[in-house]
Every structure is written in C-alpha cells, then in structure tokens.
Amino acid sequence: MIYWDHNAASPVRPEVAAQLARAFSEGGWGNASSVHRSGREARGRLDAARARVARVLGCEPKEVCFTGSGSESDALALKGAWLARKETRRRRVVASAIEHPAILAALKQLEAQGAEVVRVRPERNGRVALETMLEALTPETVLCSLMWANNETGVVQPVADLARACRQRGILFHTDAVQAAGKLPTHLREVDADLLSLAAHKFGGPAGVGVLVVRRGVEVQALTPGHQEAGVRGGTQNVPYAEALALALELAHEEQPTHAARVQALRDTFEREVRSRIADVTVNGEGAPRVPNTSNLCFHGTDGEALLIALDLEGICVSSGAACASGTLTPSHVLLAMGLTPAQASASLRFSLGPTTTEEDVARVVEALSKHVPSARALSLE
C-alpha cells in the first residue's frame, strides 16, 4: 500500500509506539489528580510532558493545555475565548472561509449566541490576503482566527503579520497550527499567537490527544468544567498520550528541516511528472507558499470519486478533502472559496506525502494516474 494521506493522519512513529507500550505495561494508569504515590508519579510525568511541549513551542509549561484532539482545541479556543468575553461590547469574530470544519462549526455556534462572524475569502491561489483580514478587524472585534497552513491545499497563511496586527489592536488571535507542526518551524517566536492548536496524529503521535496553548493573561472558559488543566479543560488527563505527543513533537521538530527538504523534492517531482504526462491538470494553491508535503491537483473533466476509488483499488490512499469532512464526497468548501466551480472542486484530489514516501512511490502513483485519469474523464461525460 502507498499511503499518501498524511494530512489526515500520519503513522505513529516506532519510538512513540514503544513508549506507549512501556507506559501501559509498567503502570501508566495512575490518575494525575490523586494524592497517593501512583497519582504523584502520574502528575510528575504529566508536568514533564507539558514542559517538553512548551520547550518546542516556545511558551511556558503552564500555558500548555492538553486536549483530546485538534478539533477540540479549535472549539475550545474560539468558544472558550468568546464565552469569557461575552459580556463585553466587542461582538465581532473574524476568521477565514477556508478554516478546518471544527472552526467553521464553532463559528456557527457563536453566531447563535450573538456573535457577528466575518468569514474572509481567500485569493484564487488559496492564500488569504493580509490586507483583507486587516480590513475586517474593526474596534468591535474580540477574536480573530486564521489557520497557519491549510489542510487541503497546504497553502501557508500570513499568520505572523496578522498576529502582530491583532496584538497591536488588543484583539485575541488564534491559529490552527495542526498542519504546520512537523512541516514548518512552528514556534511562538515565529507567530505570536494568544491561542494555538495542535494534534498529535499529524506528526507521528497517536490520535486522541491534542494541545491548546493559552498564553499568559488570556482567559478561556472551560467547555467541560473541571479542575484539571488549570480549569481550562476538565476530565482526567491521559498521561501516556500526553507523553506520546511530547515525544512525537520533539522528534518532528528536530527532523523538520531535513524532512521538509526531502519531501518537497518528492512532491515537486510528482507534480512535474503528472503535468508532463497528463493533460489539463492544475495545482490548487500554485503560486502561493505551501507546506512541503502537500499537492492538491485538479484533473479537469474527471469524475473525482471514480478516480479516488480507482487509486484505492491500486493500493494508493489519497483524499478528496478534509478527513473530518469525509463520509461525503461533496465539493470542498476550501476549493469553492478559492473560486473553483463545483465540477472543478469535485475533480480535485489531495496528495499528502510523509516520512514513508519514496521515489518508487512517486513513480507508481504517476503511473496509476496516467492509467486511470482518461477513464475517469470518460465517466464524467456519461
């Protein structure tokens, strides 16, 4: 099998799997809130994991809140920050129209609670113009959210400049950095965000654990009440998974420069070979800065669902959009916001490479596409 869906979930690293096995076999079940010896040991391990995450991200350990996923981190950031400031005169929330489904769903819930939500559309290349975001930041704005890198196109957004502008205006800034970690230098020195979301399964950790960084002085109301995680997120912490996230993040951070160069070379070769062998293919996000592993291609005139299934039958795993929006092959909201027609969006597939990708994989995927795109185009005409 060729697995090219790393933006949905990257395989758990062997080092992380080994650490998890040891944790669960050697007494990794202690409750970090208990006062007895087992509880104190769990608390010590949790604090150590928190400090390791903080070192990589460039924040204080007490600013690291462990969650159950990137989606939960996103929802907690937006809804928790809004609820903490609901009684203020500021009612406007600004975000992009290409955010992850978790953000978009949270925005709808905020609207139902009286927020004025502004969704800024991207340019044709998938990048949200900084000037357009800044124009939306009125004195009534309480919160702004822009993802660091888009999960479907890989386009990197102007989060550093926007974070600075929000801080100057006294506006809270959140960035969904789920697709940036392990692919770009992800440090709060780079992007001075008030709130930042991560998910372990995007960089070699297990699914089921994430992080929300809540900077000093930022108030977030818990969606699940409890004393854990400094009152920001109630519920017994999953200590082995917190440790697994910390280890995976450290390894991804250490290897990022080398990994980025290697996978970008493979990605660029893939795009070049596809376009040389198959007519009428465009790169969604071309001309904009992208994370090195992501290629979103529109095979104009194809039945995208048929092409996806044909590749799957060849043992090649790719995606038609966000994994959290799967279960349906409706056109991508990201591509539609970029100005693609429903037909063009439906004819687009995402190829997200990872640590396991090889040159042989590239050749095999190009060959499979050369074989199946003509038949997928014929199906679209029926």
Contact 96/126 with Cβ under 8 angstroms? no
Tokens 């113009």 correspond to what residue?
129
Instruction: Respond yes or no: is residue 324 known to be catalytic.
Output: yes
Long-range contacts of 22-30 (CB under 8 A, 24+ apart): 23/239, 23/240, 23/243, 23/244, 24/240, 28/239, 28/240, 30/239
Report the alpha-carbon distance of residue 65 to residue 271 in Å, rounded: 39
Tell how strand 116-120 and strand 92-96 pair up: parallel
CB 180 within 8 A of CB 186: yes
Strand order of the β-sheet with 294-299 is 281-283, 294-299, 348-352
Cα torsion 92, 98, 102, 106 to 10°: value is 20
Give the whole-angstrom CA distance, residue 207 versus residue 108: 26
Return the structure tokens found at 114. 């009286």
Q: Which of 352, 67, 357, 75 is nearest to 234 (CA)?
A: 67
Structure tokens at 129: 């113009």
- DSSP string spanning 300-347? TT--HHHHHHHHHHTTEE-BSS-GGG-S--PPPHHHHHTT--HHHHHT
Q: Which of 59, 144, 298, 324 is catalytic?
A: 324
> Tokens representing 376?
């997928």
User: Which residues are the active-site residues?
Assistant: 324
